[in-house]
Amino acid sequence: MCQAMLVSFLVCVGAATDSGNQLGGGTTMLVPIPVEMKAGSGGFTITSGTVVVASGPAVAEARKLVDGLAPAMGCRLQLADGGEPRDGAIVLRIDESLRQLGDEGYQLDVAVNRVLITGPKPAGLFYGIQSLLQMLPPAVFRQAPVVGASWVVPCVSITDYPRFGWRGLMLDTSRHFMPKTFVLKLIDVLALHKFNSLQLHLTDDQGWRIEIKKYPKLTEVGAWRDETVVGHAGKKPWKFDGRPHGGFYTQDDLREIVGYAADRHINVVPEIEMPGHARAAIAAYPELGCHPDQPLKPWTVWGVCPDIYIPTDKTIGFVQDVLTEVLALFPSKIIHIGGDEATKEQWKASPVVQARIKELGLKDEDQMQSWFIKQMDTFLAQKGRRLIGWDEILEGGLAPGAVVMSWRGERGGIAAAKEGHDVVMAPTGWTYFDYYQGPPEKEPLAIGGNLPLKKVYEYEPIPKEMKPEEAKHILGAQCQLWAEYLPTTRQVEYMAFPRAAAMSEVLWSPAERKDYTAFLVRLAQDLKRLDILDWNYRKLDKE
């Protein structure tokens, strides 16, 4: 008997299941919680004889469902052309009359004899599939046939769409290089929680992580540092581990990451830091810095580094050359240019920079930074893209179409929205997942701060004082995984979840649907999935 037939046979004879699924229990397994959900009675059993029906643009999504079910079911469900509900089938259908649900909304209707997933766009069908998978036993995420499982989806009627259009997470790949396979694993887990944006922090003082064909030394030199400070960099004297760290993504790697993410309706936003956080680039090409006669190496400690690009035409040309290659790799409409923590001491001390400020008719170094950022804004706008930067880009004036990522609290976001800029909220107090999530003496070394799960869950991205017309500029929010103190991917996993699960509900679910106690019940199911996905999440506190 083939595996598929065996599974089907076991389902038919009602074999005992080791999967823990209870009829009707599946709707308590959804994270983030949907907008509306009406539970029915009974359930639809997926067997090897179940047909997946779709046509046109729904077919690509239907294939993802078949792919998702195949390893654990031990068979590939048959795909058929069509769109009308029918017995024994899971039907996926694009329905433009559901336009009011938005591009990512969907309806999922499970009856004992069939399943229907509809939405106005493919992304909605994809999210309907994620909800369907979440309502199955967590064992559905196993990568080999689960003998004895019964793949029952409880009858339910769901109408669902996201609260925010930017549901993001940022991964710092500079401070510690994160292997491509891990980035793909992260994308899978983000998609399961209905995130739609992954920002890759690709360049910083400690490492340059993106292959740029025109400037090979960026990765030959800039991707490697000699050693790394041990323990917290705030504690001196510094000690070092005495071994090199590094790595980078080839352009083919990045194309693969971008394509893999796009398949899961996740946009990858590249971040290329400027004018500060540039030491790794300056190490590769000293003429880009303010002291070309004093060669540097990529930084080996953490903190705010004084090294900054010199704002000459040559540097502007270099950065725009880099961005040209970045744009060819990343179709993202929005491109992140950093802009944070650019200390101006070297500019103040440099006769070249002071002459440049005068020549351009600028008042001071803040205006110099603003001029630098505006060059990038104009460049990106000419290529049909939009610039996003950390909230320092507001200082000294900001180009009209630019988007602000508010990290130093909500202040920058509020000011930007008042000026008519779109905003992504990323305030340290709620979204910095490099902060401790429990008492520091019981946690692995982190940068500092205190951000427990409940605080993330209670985050409200629209500040109370915002007027409705300003609130429209809040595109959403993003969690930050800065990696100074995340030397391994296991540690990244630990810091990311379960806090990212809480953030998924902040960003997707209506504010009035939020309930921390109920979330914890659903989270317990979510963690079973993460166990199977081999995700090293932080265990919940016993309360």
- Which residues in this chain contact ligand ACM in the complex, by CB under 6 A? 340-341, 390, 407
CB of 406: closest distance to ligand ACM in angstroms? 10
Backbone angles phi, psi at 78, to 5 degrees: -75, 135
CB pairs under 8 A, 24+ apart, for 484-487?
484/172, 484/175, 484/176, 484/233, 484/302, 484/434, 484/447, 485/232, 485/302, 485/434, 485/444, 485/445, 485/446, 485/447, 486/172, 486/175, 486/176, 486/434, 487/176, 487/228
Is the distance from CB of 106 to CB of 117 less than 8 angstroms?
yes
Nearest residue (beta carbon) to ligand ACM: 340
DSSP classification of residue 432: B
Could you confirm whether 341 is annotated as catalytic?
yes
Smaller CB distance to ligand ACM: residue 177 or 390?
A: 390
Count of CB atoms within 10 A of residue 140's CB? Answer: 23
Helix axes 251-263, 313-329, angle to 10 degrees: 50
Smaller CB distance to ligand ACM: residue 341 or 395?
A: 341
Q: What is the three-class DSSP state of 119?
A: strand
Is the distance from CB of 288 to CB of 353 less than 8 angstroms?
no
CB of 100: closest distance to ligand ACM in angstroms? 36
Smaller CB distance to ligand ACM: residue 195 or 407?
A: 407
Residue 383 Cα distances to 59, 186, 270, 386, angstroms: 32, 30, 15, 9
Is the distance from CB of 90 to CB of 50 less than 8 angstroms?
yes
> Of 193, 245, 265, 277, which is the active-site residue?
277
Count of CB atoms within 10 A of residue 538's CB? Answer: 19
H or E element at residue 281: helix 279-284
CB of 412: closest distance to ligand ACM in angstroms? 10
User: What is the rounded distance in angstroms from the CA atom of residue 333 to the CA atom of residue 140?
Assistant: 35
CB of 167: closest distance to ligand ACM in angstroms? 19
Smaller CB distance to ligand ACM: residue 109 or 205?
A: 205
Is the distance from CB of 498 to CB of 527 less than 8 angstroms?
yes
> Of 204, 211, 273, 434, which is the active-site residue?
204
Smaller CB distance to ligand ACM: residue 321 or 340?
A: 340
Count of CB atoms within 10 A of residue 43's CB? Answer: 23
Cis peptide before 32 (omega within 30 of 0): yes
H or E element at residue 353: helix 351-359
CB of 340: closest distance to ligand ACM in angstroms? 4
Indicate the length of the chain as a whole number: 543
DSSP bridge partners of 117: 92, 108
> Of 341, 366, 395, 515, which is the active-site residue?
341
Per-residue tokens: 271: 């971040």
Query: Which amino acid is located at 163 in the chain?
Result: R
Q: Which of 177, 193, 183 is nearest to 29 (CA)?
A: 193
Residue 138 contacts by C-beta under 8 Å, 6 or more apart in sequence? 19, 20, 29, 525, 528, 529, 531, 532
Is the distance from CB of 152 to CB of 44 less than 8 angstroms?
yes
User: What is the rounded distance in angstroms from the CA atom of residue 337 to the CA atom of residue 330?
Assistant: 14
Smaller CB distance to ligand ACM: residue 121 or 279?
A: 279
Backbone angles phi, psi at 343, to 5 degrees: -75, 145
Could you confirm whether 277 is annotated as catalytic?
yes
CB of 341: closest distance to ligand ACM in angstroms? 5
CB of 226: closest distance to ligand ACM in angstroms? 24
Smaller CB distance to ligand ACM: residue 73 or 308?
A: 308
Smaller CB distance to ligand ACM: residue 149 or 178?
A: 178
CB of 253: closest distance to ligand ACM in angstroms? 25
User: What is the rounded distance in angstroms from the CA atom of residue 187 to the CA atom of residue 497?
Assistant: 13
Smaller CB distance to ligand ACM: residue 219 or 437?
A: 437
CB of 321: closest distance to ligand ACM in angstroms? 25
Report the greatest alpha carbon distance in the chain.
Answer: 84
Active site residues: 204, 277, 341
